[in-house]
Amino acid sequence: MKKIIAITLLLGITGMNVMPVLAADTMNNAQPKQFKTMVKKNKKVSDDYKYAYVNMDFWSDFNDENLSAYIDKAIKHNYDLKSATLTVEEYYQNVRSQFANELPKANAGFAPGYMKMPGSSDADWSFATPAFAQYEVDIFLKNRDKTKSVKKLYEGAQFDERAAYIAVASAVGTTYLNIVRLDKIIGIQTEIVDLRKEIYDLMLARNREGITSTADTVKANKALVQGQTDLIELQKQRDILLHQFAVLIGESPANIAEFTRTSYDNIAFSGNIPSEISSDVIVQRPDYLKAEKMVEKAGIDVRVARKEFLPTFNILGLALFNASNLGSVWTTKNMLAGLIGSAMLPIFTGGSLTANLRIKKAQYEKVLQNYYKTNLTAIQEVNDALVSVKMDTEKMEQTKKQAELEQTDFMYNRDKFNQGVISKLDLIQYKENLLTIDKLVAQQQIECYVDYIGLYKAVGSKL
């Protein structure tokens, strides 16, 4: 009768799983050496690796403490970067979860019951403590390959994290420099508006005296209004950039008035921008390295799909202690135990295994093509960045020469004005021409700095 009760309880427990179970996971006590190494690597004691991602030496070459401080702030507070780091942690835990499939599983529980058996008028208590252990013998290393496949995703997520840090740092630097550019251009535009106001006042006074026509006065007024409109547009652009900048560094856009920045005239890039980039640098880009890992993963997935055709070997152990008296539960005479081995070979699966293998092969080819494309795209982006640096630098040098000539022309005309050869109205016009070319110089100088950042991003910060 006890054997019948024990077997009934065991079948009920395995089929319905209604008792409270205390899972004794053997994973923590049986970690192989390579897994312990992986855990140790994942536990980062500081954020130094994040600063290595963005290459702070490059940003210090701008000789701007404010810019370096904002890059540091973005590293610590940007929400996209926090999300990227959490994604890495998520993939790491997926590796641990998959690795658990390589280890034995053990469960134990306690199941008290009160029952009446057929053919008997008596009812009695029964106390059972079932325990189960299961292990898939990974003879063909299929589960090991599955863990390797998931680990490639984890490594790919790390490269995504690095790419995210480089992208955010580039966005912070570009936005900051454009704000500095707008500060300078707004200052120049304010001077232009003041000059146009002075021109309009002079024209108005001359019109009253009949020296200047009303048409010329209206034209001067139109130029003044246009200058004021341009100034408002520049101020709007700066505020929008400041709002975007606030989000990049993890601040509220309501705090833009507190953002300090260096004057345009004080920014001087002292780094060395190469005219050529070695292919060794290109293959260190995070997107290139991730594509490489995805090819490796796809190859492993094909290998796993092939191993699905092979038999699986399982070992199942179970033990059940059952007694009507709680005090005598854990005795050998009240124990039912068994150890079972099995080998299962897929005979007919309707072609699903073959289809799965073909899918994995197709995915491998697709990932491989993406790898080739990533390689070409990396070369293209680096070459584009080098061309932009070269051409924009040459253009800026020409514009600076033009500005020097405009400055010389203004000085000659100022002497003419002092000699009474030209009117003040003419001198003001020459001054506005000089300010206009100064705006262009500021625009193109910042464009060159932004090109440096573009090259920095194209080479994966290895500049």
pLDDT digits (tens, 9 = 90+) for 152-192: 999 999 999 999 999 999 999 999 999 999 999 999 999 99
Residue 11 lies in a domain: yes
413: amino acid identity, one letter: N
- 42-46, 202-206, 265-269, 347-351: least confident range: 42-46
Residue 106 lies in a domain: no
Residue 63 pLDDT more than 70? yes
Residue 229 pLDDT more than 90? yes
Residue 197 lies in a domain: yes
Most confident of 42-56, 73-87, 265-279: 73-87
Residue 344 CA to residue 347 CA, distance in Å, equals: 9
Residue 308 pLDDT more than 90? yes
Q: What average pLDDT does the structure give for the chain?
A: 87
The predicted structure's pLDDT at residue 108: 85
The predicted structure's pLDDT at residue 4: 45
Kindly give, in sequence order, each residue whose CB lies less than 8 Å from that of residue 305, ignoring residues fewer than 6 positions away: 353, 356, 357, 359, 360, 361
Which helix (H) or strand (E) segment holds residue 124: the answer is strand 123-137
Token digits of residue 240: 């929008």
Written as one string, the DSSP assignment of 16-79 is H--S-EEE--GGGG---HHHHHHHHHH--SSSHHHHHHHTHHHHHTT--HHHHHHHHHHHHH-H
Residue 230 pLDDT more than 90? yes
- Split into its structural domains, the chain has a count of 1
The predicted structure's pLDDT at residue 120: 62
Residue 90 lies in a domain: yes
Distances (CA, A) of 300 to 305, 310, 319, 361, 383: 9, 16, 38, 10, 34
> Over the stretch 407-433, which tens digit does the pLDDT of each residue have?
999 999 999 999 989 988 889 999 999
Residue 102 pLDDT more than 50? yes
Residue 279 pLDDT more than 90? no
Token digits of residue 214: 């009303």
Residue 153 lies in a domain: yes
For the chain, the C-alpha Rg in angstroms (whole number) is: 37
Residue 24 pLDDT more than 50? no
Residue burial 397-423, b: 16+ Cβ < 10 Å; e: rest: eebeeebeebeeebeebeeebeeeebe
Cα 165 to chain centroid distance, Å, stands at 6
> Over the stretch 28-59, which tens digit does the pLDDT of each residue have?
334 444 444 444 455 455 788 999 999 999 99
93: amino acid identity, one letter: Q
Residue 412 lies in a domain: yes
- 98-107, 250-259, 333-342: least confident range: 333-342
Token digits of residue 255: 């705090």
Residue 415 lies in a domain: yes
Give the domain CATH number at 359: 1.20.1600.10
Integer distance in angstroms from the first to the last C-alpha of the chain?
Answer: 80
Residue 68 CA to residue 60 CA, distance in Å, equals: 6
The predicted structure's pLDDT at residue 12: 46
The predicted structure's pLDDT at residue 326: 65
Residue 231 CA to residue 219 CA, distance in Å, equals: 18
Look at residue 195 and give its three-state secondary structure: helix
The predicted structure's pLDDT at residue 349: 87
- 27-31, 112-116, 141-145, 446-450: least confident range: 27-31
User: Taking the model in full, what pTM does it have?
Assistant: 0.83
Place of tokens 């880009």: 285
The predicted structure's pLDDT at residue 113: 73
Tell me which residue range forms the domain holding 205. 2-39+47-100+119-458
Q: Nearest to residue 266, comparing CAs of 455, 445, 447?
A: 445
Question: For residue 258, what is the DSSP state?
Answer: G
* pLDDT (average), residues 87-92: 95
Residue 301 lies in a domain: yes
